[in-house]
């Protein structure tokens, strides 16, 4: 990786639309947490060390790793800590608009409800000190930067439905999202192990979310389940993530529906969902001018960053600086926020282009 090019990618303002909170935790934090639980005898530290340090994981192994991460992170104070750290890490590499997604978790044994989990997330957001954060919902202008000259960042939340959940649990997450709209929750994501669960289980909750005006993004086509992919496209979500295993017919459907795709290059390669970067569908979508946005997915788990993803796209697909900048800027069109935020972000990019030239 060329250092100068990577630094340039860091300096470009960026929009991150597909980042899972628990997949974005720093390794150093995971180790620290593992040591504490290891000392208490809750886990065996060396087991954690082996799993965290492993570089290539199949998609199946990744979900085992998430179960382990959740053991380390799922109490209120740790959720607050990782939220603060993850937001500050994105801010440090010039992410100016972040949609952070997380699965609200219930754990009766420690008095955690989905709501209290999300309250802990919000506390982490409010604890961010390295940048000024705007998390006001569409229409409300209560906490927009107030003329501050500090570095600023917009943060919005998507609540994830895990594919292991029941219809009722999915509905609870949607109702929670509606309750927390004033706190910057803008939409719903469907994620989790793609070989688990059925589309029909989540559909009632997703339909309800859509009717209520929440934005929807779906993990779609991480495995070649063409029937499910077709049903997901027919649902017309606002965006989809991955789109790795589409057959010809579903490609045609996706392109004609113009649904924006969140592309996670490193994640797809590391999990072997795509066998090699040279055949990644980014190229086809980019050439077709299909709406797409580069994202990290799980920057901690896959040891990446959004700047590295841009750098990887540039070196793998031969994109120059002008194309890279345009790619970063065009992502504004696909964010789940109002026109005021979009206009402000466009102004940020205009300023940046003057400095970069
Ligand atoms: C599908 C994924 C994922 O929600 O606990 N998640 N789901 N495909 C992926 N590609 C590799 N990466 C992460 O963050 C972790 C959770 O996000 C989902 C999984 O459900 C994982 O447990 P939160 O903050």
Q: Residue 100: phi, psi to the nearest 5? A: -100, 130
What's residue 48's pLDDT? 76
Structure tokens at 1: 């990786």
The structure tokens 């040591």 sit at: 35
Nearest atom in ligand 1 to the alpha carbon of residue 271 is 11
What's residue 143's pLDDT? 54
What's residue 2's pLDDT? 82
Strand 239-242 relative to strand 215-220: parallel, antiparallel, unpaired? parallel
Nearest atom in ligand 1 to the alpha carbon of residue 298 is 12
What's residue 224's pLDDT? 97
Ligand 1 geometric centre to CA of 175 (Å): 21
Q: Rounded CA gap, 185 and 219, in Å?
A: 18
Q: What is the largest CA-CA distance in the chain?
A: 56
What's residue 50's pLDDT? 73
Cβ proximity of 334 and 59 under 8 Å = no
What's residue 173's pLDDT? 98
265 C-beta neighbours (distance < 10 Å), count: 24
Q: Tell me which of 61, 62, 64, 66 to substitute to probe ligand 1's pocket, judged by most ligand atoms within 8 Å of the beta carbon.
A: 66
**Active site positions, annotated:** 222
What's residue 355's pLDDT? 85
Q: Rounded CA gap, 62 and 136, in Å?
A: 33
Q: Tell me which of 19, 21, 23, 104 to substitute to probe ligand 1's pocket, judged by most ligand atoms within 8 Å of the beta carbon.
A: 23
Residue nearest to atom 5 of ligand 1 (CA): 22
Residues with CB under 6 A from ligand 1: 20-23, 62, 66, 102-103, 160, 162, 191-192, 219, 222, 267, 271, 297-298
Which residue numbers in the chain have pLDDT < 70? 1, 54-56, 137-149, 357
Chain-centroid distance, C-alpha 24:
9
Q: Rounded CA gap, 86 and 128, in Å?
A: 10
Cβ proximity of 57 and 68 under 8 Å = no
What's residue 47's pLDDT? 76
């Amino acid at each position: 990786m060329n250092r100068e090019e990577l630094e340039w990618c860091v300096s470009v303002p960026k929009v991150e639309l597909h980042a899972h909170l628990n997949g974005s935790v720093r390794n150093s934090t995971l180790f620290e947490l593992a040591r504490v639980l290891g000392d208490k005898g809750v886990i065996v530290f060396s087991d954690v060390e082996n799993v965290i340090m492993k570089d290539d994981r199949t998609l199946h192994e990744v979900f085992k790793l998430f179960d382990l991460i959740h053991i380390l992170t799922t109490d209120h104070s740790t959720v607050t800590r990782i939220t603060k750290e993850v937001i500050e890490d994105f801010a440090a590499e010039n992410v100016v608009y972040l949609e952070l997604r997380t699965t609200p978790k219930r754990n009766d044994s420690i008095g955690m409800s989905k709501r209290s989990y999300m309250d802990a997330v919000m506390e982490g957001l409010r604890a961010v000190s390295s940048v000024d954060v705007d998390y006001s919902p569409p229409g409300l202008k209560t906490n927009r930067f107030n003329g501050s000259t500090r570095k600023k960042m917009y943060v919005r939340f998507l609540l994830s439905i895990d594919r292991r959940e029941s219809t009722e649990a999915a509905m609870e997450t949607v109702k929670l999202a509606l309750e927390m709209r004033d706190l910057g929750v803008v939409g719903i994501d469907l994620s989790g192990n793609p070989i688990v669960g059925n589309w029909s289980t989540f559909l009632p909750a997703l339909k309800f979310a859509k009717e209520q005006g929440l934005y929807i993004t779906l993990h779609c086509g991480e495995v070649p389940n063409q029937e499910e992919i077709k049903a997901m496209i027919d649902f017309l979500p606002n965006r989809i993530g991955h789109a790795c295993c589409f057959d010809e017919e579903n490609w045609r459907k996706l392109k004609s529906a113009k649904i924006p795709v969140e592309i996670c290059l490193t994640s797809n390669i590391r999990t072997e969902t795509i066998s090699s970067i040279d055949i990644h569908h980014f190229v086809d979508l980019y050439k077709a001018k299909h709406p797409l946005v580069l994202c990290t997915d799980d920057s901690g788990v896959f040891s990446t960053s959004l700047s590295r993803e841009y750098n990887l796209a540039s070196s793998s697909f031969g994109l120059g600086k002008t194309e890279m900048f345009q790619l970063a800027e065009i992502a504004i069109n696909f964010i789940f926020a109002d026109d005021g935020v979009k206009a402000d972000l466009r102004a940020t990019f205009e300023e940046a282009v003057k400095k970069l030239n």
